[in-house]
Amino acid sequence: MIPEYLISFDTKKLPKEKVDFLVIGGGLSGLYLSWELRNFNVVILYKDGIEETCSYNAQGGIAVALNEDDKPQLHKEDTLKVGCYLNDEKAVDILVNEGVERIKEIIDMGFNFDKENGKLHFTKEGGHSRNRILHSNGDAIGKNLTKFFYNLVSMFPNIKIKNKSFLIDLISVENKIIGAIVLDEKQNKIYIIQAKCYILSTGGAGMVFQETTNPSHITGDGIAIAYRKNVELADLEFYQFHPTTFYLAGAPRFLISESVRGEGGILRNIYGDRFMFDYHPSGELAPRDIVSRAIIDQMKKTNSNCVYLDLTHLKKDYIKKRFPQIYDFCKKYGIEPSKNLIPVRPSAHYFMGGIKTDIWGKTNFENLFAVGECACTGVHGANRLASNSLLESLVFSKRIGIKLKEEEYKIEDIDFKYVFPKKGDILIDKEDLKRSIRSLMWKNVGIEREKETLEYALNKLKEWNKYAFCKEFDDKNGFESLNMLIIATLMAESAILREETRGTHFRKDYPYQDDKNWKKHIIVSKKGVEIR
C-alpha cells in the first residue's frame, strides 16, 4: 500500500475561485474540450505551457478512415489487432466512426491538412492496412492542431488560460470532487479552484523512464492524484516504447516519427544489414512493440547502443518538405538525412493505461472526468495503433462536452479543514529521487521484463516510499517526485501480476499470449487490485 500523501493546508484560509468547469492540462484534448464548453466559464491549467504538452510535440499524424479505399471497419480491425484484442470494442467503434465526423468538422472549421494534387494526402504507419494517416506541414500535426485550438479558445474571455499552474491535489468528499488545490508558480501562492466538474487531461507519465520522448513535465500527476482520491486506474502495465528516437551522446531523445518508415525509411544494424523482415512480414511497418524489441535484440547481438534509420535513398528536397522538423533537428547535430544514417533506439512514448473511464470520459467519481493520454478509455488495448492518440483526444473530448452540457452539476461548498498531520521531516534530494526512479524503471520495468527484475524494482520503490512520504513538500519538484513514485510503484505491481506477453508488455519468463487466463484488465485503486 502506498502511504498517504502528506500535505497540510487549511482550506478555510486559502483564496478561492469559482468556475463552471476546470480543465487540468492544455494539450489537444483539454483545448478541444474547452472549445466545446466555450459558452461556459472555464479555466485551463497549464503546468508549464502549450509547447510542453505531448500533443504539441506529436509528429506523425492523425489516423482516420477517409481515404477512398478505406472504411471505419478496417480501421477498427487494425486497432483491435494491434491492441491484441484487449481493447474495449464499443470504444473502438466510437473512435473509428465518430473520428470521421471530428476530422470533417475541423476541416470545415478551417484546419489545413497536407494535400497532393488537390486531395488530402494519406500516408501509412505501422499496423495499418491502409494509407489513412493525415498530416500537416509534413511532421507538424501536433503543433498545428494544438495551436489551432489554442487560438480559438483564446478568443473567449470566459475561458481563462493559466500557465505555470500546478495541480497539487483534488479535494474529495465521498464520491465527489469539491475542490482543486493549485500552486501558482508565477505568484508563488496556493489557492483553491471550485468547479461543477473537473476534467483531467494531464497527459501520460513518460518521465518515470530514463529514456523518453515526452517533455520533461510529463510526470503522471493527474493519474497519481486520481489514485490518491480512490479513482480506479486500469492497464498500467501497458506502456508503449517508440522504436525510433534520435540517439547521440548529449542530444535530447528527439522523436523520429513512424511516418518516416511509412514513407520508406529502412532500419539497419551497425553492420548496415536490414533486419526487420527477420522479425515480422511487414518489416519496418510492424507494430511498434515488435519493432522496439527487434531493435533491442539487434543492439544485443551487435553489442551496440543503437541501430540506424536509412533515408539515403530518398531525395533531399522530399525529406525537407515531408519531415521539416526532423530534417532540421538532424542537421543541428551534423547529420544530413539524405546522406547519413540516423542513429536511433527505443524510448518510452505513450501510456495505454491510466484513469479508467466509460465511453463518455466519466470516472467512478460523480463529477470527475478524464481524457487524452491520462485516461484509459479502452480503445488502445495492449498496444496503441500509430496515430490513434490525437483522434482519441478529439473524439472523447467531444463526448465529454456533450455530457457536461446535458447534465446538471453544482458547486459544493468547502467547509472543513484539509489537513494531514506531519509525520516527520527529513532531507530528500528530489532530483536524485527522480533520477533513481527513472533509471530503475528503464532497467527493470522497460521493454523486456521478468519476475526477478520486476520484483527487485518493486522492492526498491517500496523502500523509497517509506522515507519519501515522510517529507512534507511545498514545491512542484517535491510533488512531482511523489507522483512519479506512485505511478512507478503501481506500474511495477501491475507488470508483476500479468503473467503473459501481450502487446507492449513483454515477459521473458512468460513469452506467450494467454487468452484463457489473461484476456482481462488489471484495475487498481486505493481499495486494492481487481482482475476483470
Cell of residue 508, nine digits:
521473458
Distance CA 485, CA 465 (A): 7
Residues whose CB falls within 8 Å of the CB of residue 282, separated by 6 or more in sequence, listed in order: 126
Decide: 268 and 274 in contact? Cβ < 8 Å: yes
DSSP-assigned letters across all residues of 422-479:
--------HHHHHHHHHHHHHHHSSSSB-HHHHHHHHHHHHHHHHHHTTS---SHHHH
Residue from 102, 132, 288, 449 carrying the catalytic annotation: 288
Instruction: Select from 125, 78, 62, 116 the least CA-distant residue to 264.
Output: 125
Q: What is the DSSP string of 44-92?
A: EE-SS-GGGSHHHH--S-EE-S-STT--HHHHHHHHHHHTTT-S-HHHH
- Listed in sequence order, the residues at least 6 apart from 475 whose beta carbon sits closer than 8 Å to its beta carbon are 183
CA distance 64 to 454: 37
Which amino acid type is present at position 328? D
Q: How many residues comprise the chain? A: 532
Residue 409 CA to residue 37 CA, distance in Å, equals 14
228 is known as an active-site residue: no
Which are the contacts of 283, defined by CB distance < 8 A and separation ≥ 6?
Answer: 276, 277
Amino acid residing at 230? N
The residues facing 354 across adjacent strands are: 234
Cα–Cα distances in angstroms (integers) from residue 46 to residues 32, 59, 390, 478, in the given order? 14, 21, 19, 18
Task: Please name the residue that has the C-alpha cell 521539416.
Answer: 324
Q: What is the DSSP letter of 371?
A: -
Q: What are the residue numbers of the active site?
A: 288
